[in-house]
Amino acid sequence: MSFAGQVAVITGASSGIGWALARTLAAEGSKVGLIARRREQLADLAGQIEKSGGTAAFAVADVTERPQIVAAIHDLTVRLGPVDLLIANAGVGAPTTIEPFNVGEIEKMFRVNVLGVVYSLEAVLPQMLQRRRGHLAAISSLAAYKGLPGESAYTSSKAAVNVFMEGLRIQLRSKGIAVTTICPGFVQTPMTEVNEFKMPWLLTADEAARRIVRALKRRRKVYNFPWQMALIMKLMRWAPDWLLERVMHTYNENPPFPKTPL
């Protein structure tokens, strides 16, 4: 299928995968709606898209604030038209520490990574149900397939996204609405640039966006990529605890926190 002429709304569009997805979909002929907290970056991206002959509009919102994100998406609907494709992309990550136990950052990850998805879907679902068509997508992670030491909160928040989207996909099956869960491996973004270890099969954000758009065109239920990393993560489910503890010991001694607080 083609996204030409369709309205695609992307959360977390001010950088990383969201930024690249917006440019890729605009190049496909989509009218793109951009949402994030940073106005300057959104305005820059919208300007680039329009300069290239595309159509873009933006709204500033924090996905953890339910009234904000619902109002932002409704505003974009008025300006661009009914949403055909929603990509709940906004996400954050930080290590889980035990001394001290960083509950504040854990709460933030769940609010952004899980509730941010739910609130974004809430804003478009009624209209999609009324029209009996539409496509909902969420950017999860291959990390969702295994609880990792030092990453308990991030991996479990992404596992929650996977299970939530799975149940929703089955529930909406007869309603004309497609649901896709996207699980990338390592992608060059501001979130991963703090990692000091070698990230296997690292993709650029542009390459990740191209692959994601291809998967969305095919209306994939779940898209895990790259396949090599997906295979490793699934095999890790069978790895003994002592091995994972040993492998990630150095990581947990000096975990890479984001440059800006969550």
151: domain CATH number is: 3.40.50.720
Interval 106-130 mean pLDDT: 97
Count: domains in the chain: 1
Query: What sign for the dihedral angle of Cα 55, 180, 112, 102?
Result: negative
What pLDDT score was predicted for residue 255? 86
Alpha helices by DSSP H, listed for the chain, are 16-27, 39-51, 66-80, 103-110, 116-131, 152-171, 205-217, 227-235, 241-247, 249-253
- Say if 262 falls within a structural domain: no
Taking the model in full, what pTM does it have? Answer: 0.94
A 10 A CB-CB count for 131 gives: 13
Q: Please indicate, yes or no, if residue 236 is contained in any of the structural domains.
A: yes
In this structure, the number of other CB atoms found within 10 A of the CB of residue 113 comes to 27
In a domain, 260, yes or no: no
- How far is Cα 254 from Cα 262, in angstroms, rounded to an integer? 18
Mean pLDDT value across the chain: 95
258 in a domain, yes or no? no
| pLDDT at 254 (0 to 100) | 85
pLDDT of residue 135: 98
**What's the token pair of residue 170?**
């089955």
Contact 103, 256 (CB under 8 A): no
Please report whether residue 192 resides in a domain.
yes
Q: Is residue 144 assigned to a domain?
A: yes
Q: Is residue 91 part of a domain?
A: yes
Q: Is residue 169 part of a domain?
A: yes
Q: Catalytic amino acids? A: 154
What is residue 257's predicted lDDT score, i.e. its pLDDT?
83
Per-residue pLDDT, 12: 96
Q: Which domain holds residue 56?
A: 7-253
